[in-house]
Homo-oligomer: A and B are copies of this chain.
Amino acid sequence: MLAINANRLNARLQAFAAIGGTTKGGVNRQALTEGDRRARRLLAELATARGFRVFQDPIANLFVWRNGRDETLPPLLIGSHLDSQPAGGRFDGALGTLSAFEVLESLEDAGTITDRSVVVVVWTNEEGCRFSPGCMGSMAFSEGAIPGLWQDKNATDGARFAEELSLTIQSLPEAAMVPLGFPVHAYLEVHIEQGPSLEAAGIPIGVVKGIQGTRWLDVTIKGQTAHAGTTGLSWRRDPLRALTSAFSNLYNTVMPGDPEARFTIGRISARPGSVNAIPEEVHCTIDIRHPDPGRLDEIEMFVRSQIGEEADTHGCRVQILCAFDMPACGFSEPLREVISHAASVCKVQSMPMLSGAFHDALFVNRIAPAGMIFVPCRDGLSHNEDEYVEQEHIVMGCEVLAQATLLAANCMDPFPDCTALHTIEPTF
């Protein structure tokens, strides 16, 4: 069993939380900002001081390399991201990155030579809040190319993506360039759950079975604006009434009828938005999720038919666009067994669970078996300066990663049948 240094891990978490730290105890360290570059620099300095080699690739994914016995074998990747939400917490991303670095240092402390090289990875722009989409680093890595469209992207603060990416790469001249998407044996990531299930179950470790599919719908429904006082019911073509009626039914059926379904309306607005006028047009977004691709399709069809019917009833026209479609992903079963076994070795309880959010592991899983280790966060709170992880859960997550790393990095054969596992099992 590989022992980790909990004090060192805590000190690292504190040091990184100070970079972009907010007065409320959170972190604002958005992707490819000066804060992001300072965090990368600190990690590179710590790595170099321990004798690890540092690399980066054309999307600025950062790699800290500890050689294994056989350098011709594809390495085991472990890590997460260092960028944050604008009012983010100190654990989302940083916990996984620094736990991975702690594992690397613990291996070094113990003088343990793994069969395969172990590489800590820091994926670029997981959050996607400054430059959309999120998971740019892992997505480009899995595709072996940077989509051309990204180069012209502008940040919410006006910065240009191509320029910020270039500055970020230049800020670590000591990190030699490696190609995008080199061969990888497997990928392991520790992350906070960002939901309440582990806390509610009183179980410290979640072994992630997969990530549910997500689909975002953009709904625009058009009726006719008219005077709130002069227009009787039979003359009204009220798009908000039509939507409300559909929503009420959807809220009462989609999630209550299927515990694995998610249905969320996050954004809604009415035009002209006058207190005394029936709206002309209402716009809203719908986020639907399900681990089973067939069910996700069914839910989308149900949403479309409900809104369509109510639009007809109320004399409105509706347009529903699919703005985003992320298929469900199932993680490698053998790698899940590695994590479960690692948890038993550490004598901590674990449970299988789905991830409601997407993560870099979803993209890495397209080219190599990926696995995720979840730890509880207080009240399920994340993307929030109050995000908090109990000390014991920080340590347990890192310990499980350490044992899983030993197991996976000493596994000489590729994990079997990993590509077939990219589609999720219907029994989820």
Contact = CB atoms under 8 A, between A and B. Distances in A.
Interface in A285-303: 285, 287, 289
Contacts of A216: 275-276
Interface in A254-284: 255-256, 259, 262, 264-270, 273-279, 282
A200 to B, nearest CB: 8
A321 interface: no
A23 interface: no
A196 interface: yes
A266 B273 contact: yes
Contacts of A240: 247, 265, 268
Contact of A278 (B235, B256, B266): B266
A412 interface: no
A248 interface: yes
B269 A269 contact: yes
A227 to B, nearest CB: 6
Determine the interface band of chain A, counting residues with CB < 8 A from chain B.
Answer: 35 or more
A123 to B, nearest CB: 19
A282 to B, nearest CB: 8
Contacts of A200: 235
B275 A270 contact: no
Interface in A341-372: 355-358
30 contacts: A193-B230, A194-B230, A195-B231, A195-B232, A196-B230, A196-B235, A212-B229, A214-B229, A227-B357, A228-B264, A228-B287, A228-B356, A229-B356, A229-B357, A230-B357, A231-B262, A232-B259, A233-B256, A238-B264, A240-B265, A245-B251, A265-B270, A266-B273, A266-B276, A268-B282, A275-B285, A275-B287, A275-B323, A275-B324, A277-B383
Contact of A262 (B229, B245, B247, B324): B229
Contacts of A235: 195-196, 200, 380
Contacts of A358: 229
Interface string A213-255: 0101000000000111111110100101100110110011001
**5 closest Cβ contacts across the A-B interface?**
A195-B230, A230-B356, A229-B356, A248-B248, A228-B264
A382 interface: yes
Contacts of A227: 194-195, 356-357, 380, 382-383
A270 to B, nearest CB: 5
Copy total for this chain:
2
Contacts of A419: none
A45 to B, nearest CB: 34
Contacts of A33: none
- Most chain B beta carbons < 10 A, residue from A197, A266, A274: A266
Contacts of A244: 244, 247-248, 251
A255 B235 CA distance: 12
A358 B266 CA distance: 36
Nearest to A200: B235
A380 B196 contact: no
B275 A259 contact: no
Contacts of A282: 268
A228 B262 contact: yes
A416 to B, nearest CB: 29
Given A233-B256, A266-B275, A268-B269, 14 more contacts: A194-B227, A195-B230, A227-B356, A227-B357, A228-B356, A229-B262, A230-B355, A233-B255, A265-B279, A267-B270, A267-B275, A268-B270, A268-B282, A275-B287
